[in-house]
Structure 1
């Protein structure tokens, strides 16, 4: 089998570019078994052993896949499929992954299904490499001839082949879904809600099953998004759809109540916060609890202020909120800042801009601040208010000493 696969790959790579028809003929010829007298199915053929020994699946994968392959009584058909996939350029690992994801791929007919699909995709302009990537991500769709007629629509919707492949990594079912009855009605509904194709593509990357679900489910998502206070004409509507996509109708009121109690918001404030930051609904209760304690108890922010700046709750506590706060607090208390920036501004700006504004200008006065800030962001050093004060005292005491070393111990409680 391995020899056959290598032979096919060698012939494909060494041959000059050919037409789709020529490619089809070569793949069919490579996959065609040698003439042999008719024999009865091999009663001793063990599918599970074949999946492990020939296809490269693990024993656990083979055990799960083998019940689906009860029609296979001999290696003839799966051998032809494996040879065909190898001829397309799939590696052994790629083939094993595809078979594990869709065992029924081994039951596909090379001449009547797989070859016409490759011919059609090649005619659309896809290269061998692009087709091989498609097989790896969507093997079940690859054995459906409708993939050829569906693909141009998806390329138009997603804007590029690369973005389409990203969507397929999350869910490949939509590629072979009924365009007229399932996919297009969902897309039409989202367009009615104000989303353009770019917005729909981004939503599908976050909610991969969206295109393949019933249109009634999409309507429920739209109703839930509007129900939490985000209208269709809002710039946050796509994010709201993403937030409610993985929440049941019962969980949303419970999460809203938890936000009110944890961050001490009024009914009006929680509506403002959720409307501005719908992804708050997707955060775990433990995460919300820890961030609210930091923002309210440690920093001293008012709940009303947080409600109008809910994005800060979505940032990493250890990797962004606390390290940036400690750096700015240190700079302020040591007279190194001319202006007093708001905390929301400090945490919302990009990492590059934060370093340019709050780290780089103070390299001479505090030469070690950059390294300690980077270590804190990576979680290697834990800084809180008290530790920020310690580094301030040490830095200011040693800033007149050239190349002075600040003991790492000042960062630890």
Structure 2
């Protein structure tokens, strides 16, 4: 049986005594029958070595069957259990089933439950469920619709299992900023603030201030695109420095389009801005062109509007852009003018 000797020696160090290999073999066989691969099994045994002493048919298989009946595929089940083996320590009837019933009361369908648990298996822990109830109640009191709460639980459940006192403070701050609880930006702000400590929040505010943003501009940017506060301080300074010093764009212009800060510098910002800089120097485009318009275009539209259109006037423009794209590790775009002209 795979890995039984290495596993046995490991758990011996954990003071788990194995008298025979019969039970461990049957446990490993059960995992393999449910399509757990070697990596999943190794993670489970490492985190929960006494699992090898479990009674597979009595304590493990019923749990596997319960999750399978719920709709979990073998890969999903293996990923969740190997990352959170504590689930297998819990009683099926006293803990797991009531936890699923609780999640169903919020998420309505098994499909939604599976989606949420793939994002955060910790939703099955009773301690986090108590937090979830409290934080959902807080959102309801502040007028967040059921659709918004459902979306938050499914896509960013970690935001709802933070300390309820801290969560309430965050909601108060978000309200004071003027967020509308019925809009998706409110939910995005809840998630962002739940992930940042006060110290980190202040550090990012300082980074934006140092790059020329006023308090009102920072607030405006956060309200229209909360993700701007998830960007690292290093990237904030790097991208803002490039936009202001290399492209000549005012900080206020970027603050009105904060979503471009989250774009990849190597794969999107630098290659496209290099093309824009060439075109600006030749007077072929307006220097006041909205940077968000240029940077958010699809690759196909950018090539059409800025590379192909100006190829005859500036013969090097295609070569410059192609080289930068290839240096960034992208190779799924036209390599020569014959391919480009087909766009």
TM-score (norm 2): 0.74
1:167–1:205 Cα contact (<8 Å) kept: yes
The partner residue of 2:245 within 286, 289, 297 is 297
Gaps spanning 5+ residues in structure 1: where? 3-49, 382-401, 404-413
For 1:8-407, list aligned pairs within 5 A. 53-54=6-7, 62=10, 69-74=14-19, 75-126=21-72, 131-144=77-90, 145=92, 146-151=95-100, 154=103, 157=107, 161=111, 168=117, 171-177=120-126, 181-193=130-142, 194=144, 196-197=146-147, 200-201=150-151, 205-206=155-156, 209-226=158-175, 230-260=179-209, 262-334=210-282, 341-362=289-310, 369-379=317-327
Per-residue Cα deviation, 1:278-308 (whole angstroms, up to 9, x for no partner): 3333333332222222222222222322222
Q: Rg bigger for which structure?
A: 1
Measure, in 2, the Cα distance between the counterparts of 1:52 and 1:353.
59
**Is the 1:203–1:238 Cα contact (8 Å) retained in structure 2?**
no
Distance between the aligned counterparts of 2:200 and 2:54, measured in 1? 43
TM-score (norm 1): 0.63
Task: Quote the offset at 1:168 in angstroms.
Answer: 4.6
Per the TM alignment, residue 96 of structure 1 is displaced from its structure 2 partner at its CA by 1.1
Structure 2, gaps ≥5 residues long: 330-336, 339-343
Query: How many angstroms apart in 1 are the aligned matches of 2:287 and 2:237?
Result: 31
Cα offsets for 1:229-277 (capped at 9, x unmatched) = 54534542222222222222244234323322x1223332332233333
Q: Is the 8 A contact 1:221 1:245 kept in 2?
A: yes
- Offset from partner CA, 1:26-45 (integer Å, 9 cap, x none): xxxxxxxxxxxxxxxxxxxx
1-side partners of 2:130 and 2:194: how far apart? 21
Q: CA distance change for structure 1 residues 373 and 190 in 2, over 3 Å: closer, same or farther?
A: farther
SS of 2:198's equivalent?
coil
The answer as to whether partners of 1:195 and 1:238 remain within 8 angstroms in 2 is no
Tell me: CA distance 1:175–1:124, structure 2 relative to 1, closer, same or farther (3 Å).
same
RMSD: 3.9
- SS of match in other structure, 1:236: helix
1:133, distance to aligned residue in structure 2 (A):
4.6
Residues 70 and 110 of structure 2 are in contact (CA less than 8 Å); yes or no, is this contact kept in structure 1? no
Shift in alpha-carbon separation, 1:141–1:380, aligned structure 2, 3 A: closer
- Contact (CA 8 Å) 1:158, 1:201: kept in 2 or not? no
SS, match of residue 289 in structure 2? coil
Q: How many residues align?
A: 325
